[in-house]
Structure 1
Amino acid sequence: MEIEQIITHPGGAHKDDFLASCLMVYSYGVPVVRKEPTEAEVANAAIAVLDVGGEHNEEKMNFDHHQFPADYEPTCALSLVLMHLGLYEDARLYCDWLETSEWLDTRGAVKTAAWLGIDRSAMAKLNSPVDITLLRRFAKAERHEAGQPVYEVMRMIGEDMVTFLKGMRERMEEIDRQSEVWEIDGTFKVLFMPRTEPMTSEPSAGMGRYIENQEPDCVAMVYPDRRGSGYGLTRYNDDLRFDFTRCENEDDVHFAHKAGFIIKTSATEVERLQELLRMAWVG
């Protein structure tokens, strides 16, 4: 769908409307105008209306959530734009910050802090000049368009979000195709990624997230060492039932972190890799 411009509300800006605008800027490359939309603009499918307008209607490119009932599942304009782009489910899986942003925008800081199980004062301690300056500069101008610094930063943010989510989906599918789950002696499970050609630049990338979502019983990962011909062995989620310093004196182990969470080995045989895992297991 071709659109001519993006409209979002004037006044103070929040992460919700800012990030929703970033995604739309990257996807459509049109100016952002910060004002109250007219009825004609809300009805015009060539104008994307974000976080204002009192309507969620994808066919008319309207993405407001303020008309939803108070007990509605936390859903903000960013959520609606991610749904529009077909990225929402992956964003909920791979962007840990998204659900918190939805809560903050729809429930406020007090209820969000209670939901997170933290003190209300901790919320402000999570902000930085990155948040403050970007939102303030976005709110300061009535119009943002190509070539302006804020607009180009918004385009970059939108691009990085989309690229990350699409890349994560591709990586999860790749891990699903290529990986194996080892069950060692009926005691523990390990996610193993064999060496492939060509090899990805970061062979361990996404493996922890894959375990979290697909194989939660796995407690360690084995993956190709990108700096050598062997493998890296590491505990998942810092599971202290593994202490890899127990392997540090093995002839085929050339690196063992003193904290015990990882080793690098020149070994490539499955039997030897599993032997090292047994050696590191303390239960």
Structure 2
Amino acid sequence: MYTVIVHPGSAHKDDFLSVAVLLSNLDVDAVYRREATPQDLADPMTYVVDVGMEYNEDLHNFDHHQDPLLPCAFHLVMKHFGQHERAMLMFEWYSHMSMMDVRGPYRTAQQLGIDSSVLFAASSPIDGYILSRFSTLQELRKGDLFYALIRDLGRDLLAMIDRKMTRLERLKAEAQVVPVKHLKAIVSTIADDPKLSMDRFLRFLNDEQVAMSITPSTRGEGWELLRLADHHSVDFRAVADNPEIRFVHANGFVAKTQTLLPLDQALALAMQAVVADAAVV
């Protein structure tokens, strides 16, 4: 049975997600939020994460602060379990999270070509609450509700990698890319979580003409027609008065049909939404 040591004080996504992955992969008796001792670092039954000033995979020490070339501790832990490359492919946030932890928000914003205020504005109150709760703990043991929450989050994260990779291969095999006037649309009939891995499929296609997707709706029995990347020539407000349309968002980025009408009719609606001078709000 293993023990996990992470740093005390303010908790961050780096140490929190590292603990989540460890709990989902190992039989961990307790997590302690304190400084690591030499005995901790020498004991391979103790995983020392984001503290200790040592990276030694054989001894299960996963700190990065002593070496500016190392990624965050979460990435080191994911590498340890053979999940790093898969996560890089499947999660857009994954590489950026390490940048934030290692370089800080200002250099990360510079690297991304955005103002740092955008990063702060995008912070989630849900993240803040969970991390603040984790910060108040000195130890976490089996049987604690928070232990179960963190472990289940880790399990879900790793399972999502598998789901996204499986779905991407299915999209490659089943989805159609069809012309819609001078543009293109992705058409997928997969009803279970229809937009899963759609972003990865778009990256795979690498086609700037793909401007919308047509998939089963998750809210209602019809199709969802979705504008991709806020393409300036697509505005579904142009079909809002069609009796087959159940809903159009006020800024025109999405429309939903009443039923799963024949695909040629859905494509006809999509063509009507391709307008030369769409005013994207």
User: Which interval holds the TM-score relative to the shorter structure?
Assistant: 0.7 to 0.9
State the distance in 1 between where 2:157 and 2:244 align. 40
Counterpart position of 1:181: 177
TM-score, normalised to structure 1, is 0.79
Which runs of structure 2 are paired with 1:82-93 in the superposition (5 Å)?
Answer: 82-93=78-89
Letter in 2 for 1:27: N
Residue 163 of structure 1: which of 151, 159, 163 is its match? Answer: 159
State the distance in 1 between where 2:265 and 2:127 align. 49
Counterpart position of 1:259: 251
Counterpart position of 1:272: 265
Residue 281 of structure 1: which of 257, 270, 274 is its match? Answer: 274
The answer on 1:244 being equivalent to 2:236 is yes
Letter in 2 for 1:135: L
1:11-37 Cα distance to aligned partner (Å, 9 max, x none): 443221122112212222411123333
Give, in angstroms, the shift of residue 129 of structure 1: 5.3
Which runs of structure 2 are paired with 1:48-67 in the superposition (5 Å)?
Answer: 48-67=47-66
> For structure 1, which segment, 236-245 or 202-211, has the greater mean C-alpha deviation from structure 2 after superposition?
202-211
Which runs of structure 2 are paired with 1:225-236 in the superposition (5 Å)?
Answer: 225=217, 227-228=220-221, 230-236=222-228
Task: Note if contact 2:164-2:196 (Cα within 8 Å) is conserved in structure 1.
Answer: no
Counterpart position of 2:41: 42
The answer on 1:210 being equivalent to 2:206 is no
Residue 5 of structure 1: which of 3, 6, 20 is its match? Answer: 3
Residue 100 of structure 1: which of 93, 96, 102 is its match? Answer: 96
TM-score, normalised to structure 2, is 0.80
1:80-109 Cα distance to aligned partner (Å, 9 max, x none): 112223332343344443333312321233
State the distance in 2 between where 1:133 and 1:252 align. 43
State the distance in 2 between where 1:51 and 1:14 align. 10
Give, in angstroms, the shift of residue 139 of structure 1: 3.6
State the distance in 2 between where 1:231 and 1:153 align. 35
State the distance in 1 between where 2:249 and 2:117 align. 37
Task: Note if contact 1:191-1:222 (Cα within 8 Å) is conserved in structure 2.
Answer: yes
**1:137–1:276 Cα change, 3 Å:** closer
Residue 147 of structure 2: which of 133, 145, 151 is its match? Answer: 151
Secondary structure of the equivalent of 2:179? strand
Give, in angstroms, the shift of residue 247 of structure 1: 2.8
1:209-265 Cα distance to aligned partner (Å, 9 max, x none): 42144444311111234533x533222123231122333444544444443333334
Task: Note if contact 2:186-2:212 (Cα within 8 Å) is conserved in structure 1.
Answer: yes
**1:237–1:63 Cα change, 3 Å:** same
**1:220–1:5 Cα change, 3 Å:** same
Q: How many aligned residue pairs are there?
A: 272
Residue 215 of structure 2: which of 209, 220, 223 is its match? Answer: 223
> For structure 1, which segment, 238-247 or 262-271, has the greater mean C-alpha deviation from structure 2 after superposition?
262-271
User: Where do 5+ consecutive residues of structure 1 fail to align?
Assistant: none
The answer on 1:79 being equivalent to 2:75 is yes
Letter in 1 for 2:16: F
State the distance in 1 between where 2:255 and 2:124 align. 35
1:123-167 Cα distance to aligned partner (Å, 9 max, x none): 555556544454344344432111234323322332332233332
Letter in 2 for 1:206: S
Counterpart position of 1:17: 15
Residue 172 of structure 1: which of 154, 162, 168 is its match? Answer: 168
